[in-house]
Amino acid sequence: MFDYTFQWRPALRALPDMFAGAWVTFETAALSMIFGVLIALVLTVMRQARHPLLRGVGNGWVSIARNTPSLFQIYILYFGLGSLGLHVSSWFALLAGITFNNAGYLAENFRGGLKAVPGTQMRAARSLGMSAFQAYRMIIVPQLLRIVFYPLTNQMVWAVLMTSLGVVVGLNNDLTGVTQEYNVKTFRTFEYFALAAVLYYLIAKLIVGLARLLSWRLFRY
């Protein structure tokens, strides 16, 4: 039943390339998080706006991002934009897809976080003479980010895991992509992918650990 010899040596020899891939993965996830947070903040404000069009766009974005698979979103950006004559690279499609997804999920988190910031904070800030934008930037958003810090970390881990979908649209320089390249050359599927799984696990743990350190530094009163 068990006539398979594991060969870990070639897999270990591929490790430097996989580290390079892991770095691309991390970079992509971090970029998508930065853009995702910015867009999510805009979406959160838009969903509270009085203008029906703004609200509609905000709600539409969030519900599409949350109710369709992220792979589907990447597909739409890769193949859909291609059919409109906009040929984007698979890395860009991946980044845009994950950013779209992140923004939708984070906007929902932020909405919950915003409810936890007392309304009196806004009124106090406005009565101190701040403009609405200043009040948001200096009073509301810092408190909001503090409340949603933990969900934010979670979403970052999610973003890293989602970058593995890039290989489906043909990305070959992130961690999964590099692994798949080696896999199709050697057909040592289990060894390479087991190594990739370990690397993903380490990245996820690293992010959680860093976030914990960061929260010690940031949230001291």
Partner 1 sequence: MFSTSLTVNDLLYLLEGAWVTVQLTAWSILLGTLAGLLFGLLRALLPRASLPLAWVLDAFRSVPLLIQFVLFNSLKSIVGLDLSAFAVGCIVLGVYAAAYFTEIVRGGVLAVPLSTRRASRSLGLSYLQDLRFIVLPIATRVAFPGWLNLVLGVMKDTALVMWIGIVELLRASQTIVTRIQEPLLVLCIAGLIYYVMSLVVARLGARLERRWQEND
- Give the footprint of partner 1 on this chain (CB under 8 A): 1-2, 4, 63-64, 66-72, 75-76, 79-80, 82-84, 157, 161-162, 164-165, 167-168, 176, 179, 189-190, 193-194, 196-197, 200-201, 204-205
Rounded to whole angstroms, the Cα distance separating 162 from 160 reads: 5
Nearer to partner 1, 32 or 164 (CB): 164
- Backbone conformation region of residue 24, classed left if phi is above 0, alpha if psi is from -120 to 50, else beta: alpha
Q: How far is CA 13 from CA 16, 18, 19, 25, in A?
A: 7, 10, 11, 20
User: Please, what is the minimum distance in Å from the beta carbon of residue 31 to partner 1?
Assistant: 18
Shortest distance, CB of residue 200 to partner 1, whole angstroms?
A: 5
Q: What amino acid is encoded at 8 in this protein?
A: W
Gyration radius from the chain CA atoms: 21
Rounded least distance, CB 138 to partner 1, Å: 34
Question: Which residues contact residue 114 at a Cβ distance below 8 angstroms, ignoring those fewer than 6 apart?
Answer: 44, 48, 140, 144
Min CB(211)–partner 1 separation in Å: 14
Cβ proximity to partner 1, 39 vs 157, nearer residue: 157
Q: Which is nearer to partner 1, 155 or 179 (CB)?
A: 179
Using the minimum distance from each CB to partner 1, give the nearer residue, 64 or 117: 64
